[in-house]
Homo-oligomer: A and B are copies of this chain.
Amino acid sequence: MRHDPLPPRAPLDPAFLARLVDRFGVQAHLTDAMREQHGRSEAHFTPMLPDAVVFARSTEDVVDLVRLCGQADVPIVPFGAGTSIEGNTLAVRGGVSVDLSEMNAILEVNAEDFDCTVQAGCRREELNLHLRDQGLFFPIDPGANATIGGMASTRASGTNAVRYGTMREAVLSLTVVTPDAQVIRTARRARKSAAGYDLTRLYVGSEGTLGIITEVTLRLHPIPETISSAVCGFDTLQGAVDTVVQSIQLGVPLARVEILDEAQIRAVNRWSKLDLAEVVTLFFEFHGSPAGVAEQIENVGALAAANGGSDFSWSNRPEERARLWKARHEAYYAAVNMRPGAVGWTTDVCVPISRLPECILETRADLEQSSVPATILGHVGDGNFHVIFSVDPAAPHEMEEVERINRRLVERALLMDGTCTGEHGIGLGKQDWLVAELGDAVDVMRTLKRALDPKDLFNPGKIFAL
């Protein structure tokens, strides 16, 4: 992992800063407070401050900023809600952090076409509130109330991906400002197209290194007639995972299925005032018609019972469902807050689902040897799980221990033909692992980066050092 100290940087040319203030007025900020707010992350990375922060209000603002930065060779780092956890928005080489949170308009909703277009700074919870009256929803749900642009940039997914896919599937089209200050739209609003290279998918997950996303057209889904949640405890981890695999094999269209280990359930019980049995537990959500959901519950319930599961505790009352998933969403905070003063450190491997029990069990054996408190939770239908460590920031040996366990975990996942990052992106934290995972393919990525951003000004130092 790279935590090398950064090389010292010269301060930005005052003439550049003057031009910035001249063009952007009150939208430009040079204060320490604002720079600090944009130069730290929710995770364990050392803060790296931009020299300036500009709040963009339009694609034209971004174009002008890209021009100004390009002329002065100043780095530019896009910033949304700041909820990413691989240091994706840190200003490794300083420069300007362009904050898109004020570009939060919902530009259009085409209910009959099941799509909408929003500005990049729109947040997913606000979008869903807006869509609700039209019977539609946007399913991608990483937990945090992230911006849609940020979610596109990191190829986010989360609890609904097993049924509805990730941002890769959810994004129909993007408006992007390129490093040479062109504004492109990557696709039309048709649901599918074979028109040339898939630029939409190239920018989804590119973490701001190839362009700045300013507008996003998203696929939407009809709100299901019936939504039902269930909780089920298991004797063994293997039993829990087998239940999920067999459900998928049976064709059950699980909308969500999350695994939480004993330690995570303990944390959730305490933080969210629940009283779940403290065993390996699956949280389910079922979407469909009343009869369809009843059939899903019956089938999954039978499989769970055959695999050592408890009786389903289930509910289709909205407030109970909301309480359950709120607890799931707060699981990260619940885990970290088990230890006062701790900092969160999250892993993110994703493996073929047949290897998931083995991968989790071997990891848990490592955790049992460790002095750093940790919980496990995951998107079991995708083969993706997280270990959340609660690290004492004043104890360097703890950080070393976590890195050692994470190294073993990623190596284990790669041996299983998995990935080092299911949904958090590479950012600063996974750069060495990207090379271990994809080898020479990373050379192709570098070639693309050099071709589109030859001066390396767009979120430099992320995904890979050039």
| A199 interfacial contact with B, CB 8 Å | yes
Nearest opposing residue in chain B for A156, CB measure: B194
Query: Quick check: is A155 within 8 A (CB to CB) of the other chain?
Result: yes
Query: What 20 additional pairs, Cβ within 8 angstroms, besides A188-B437, A197-B202?
Result: A114-B353, A135-B249, A157-B192, A166-B192, A185-B438, A189-B417, A190-B382, A190-B383, A190-B422, A191-B353, A193-B350, A195-B419, A195-B421, A197-B448, A197-B463, A198-B201, A222-B249, A291-B291, A291-B292, A292-B295
Given contacts A251-B222, A289-B251, A450-B451, contact A421 B193 (CB under 8 A): yes
Identical copies in the complex:
2
Quick one: closest B residue to A252, CB to CB? B289
Interface membership of chain A positions 408-435, coded 1 if the CB is closer than 8 angstroms to chain B and 0 otherwise:
0000011001111111111000100110
Name A residues whose Cβ lies closer than 8 Å to a Cβ of B.
110, 112-115, 135, 154-157, 161, 165-166, 168-169, 178, 182-199, 201-202, 204-206, 210, 222, 224-225, 245, 248-251, 253, 287-289, 291-292, 295, 299, 348, 350-354, 382-384, 413-414, 417-426, 430, 433-434, 437-445, 447-448, 450-452, 463-464
Q: Tell me if B438 and A384 are in contact (CB < 8 A).
A: no
Q: How far is the CB of A246 from chain B (nearest CB, A)?
A: 10
**Known contacts A196-B438, A205-B197, A443-B182; A419/B382 CB under 8 A:** no
Residues in B neighbouring A188, C-beta threshold 8 A: 414, 417-419, 437-438
- 17 intermolecular pairs with C-beta atoms under 8 Å apart: A112-B352, A112-B354, A113-B352, A165-B169, A166-B192, A168-B198, A183-B440, A184-B441, A188-B418, A188-B419, A190-B382, A192-B422, A194-B425, A195-B426, A195-B433, A289-B295, A448-B451
Q: What separation, in Å, do the CA atoms of A41 and B424 have in the docked complex?
A: 44
